[in-house]
Amino acid sequence: MGKRKKLEITRALATRPEMLLLDESFAGLNPVEQNDLIEIIRKIREKGITIMVIEHHMKVIMSISDRIVVLNYGEKIAEGTPGEIGNNPLVIEAYLGEAMDA
């Protein structure tokens, strides 16, 4: 599964986008594949491409994001840096279960 997701990203990058939208790209990946994809995303960012990620794996989001917008049932409940999001009571209740060190 990880190879297919990498191929999809490569195909998208072939169009030389200014912005890349990734929707649930980490779903179904094992931890090694997740780490590989995190590194790919970091390399893409280094090239100056903006990346917008829709994802439910909060630990992944916290590790790759500069800014995070959190939705719960279609309502925005928080926006900020990973540190702000990791300590936001509404986010903790909805997604994290406990405060995260970002």
Residue 34 in contact with residue 60, Cβ under 8 Å? yes
Q: What residues does 76 pair with on adjacent strands?
A: 71
Residues 6+ apart with CB under 8 A from 41: 22, 51, 53, 64
Residues marked active site are found at 24
The two structure tokens encoding residue 36: 């590989």
3-state secondary structure of 19: strand
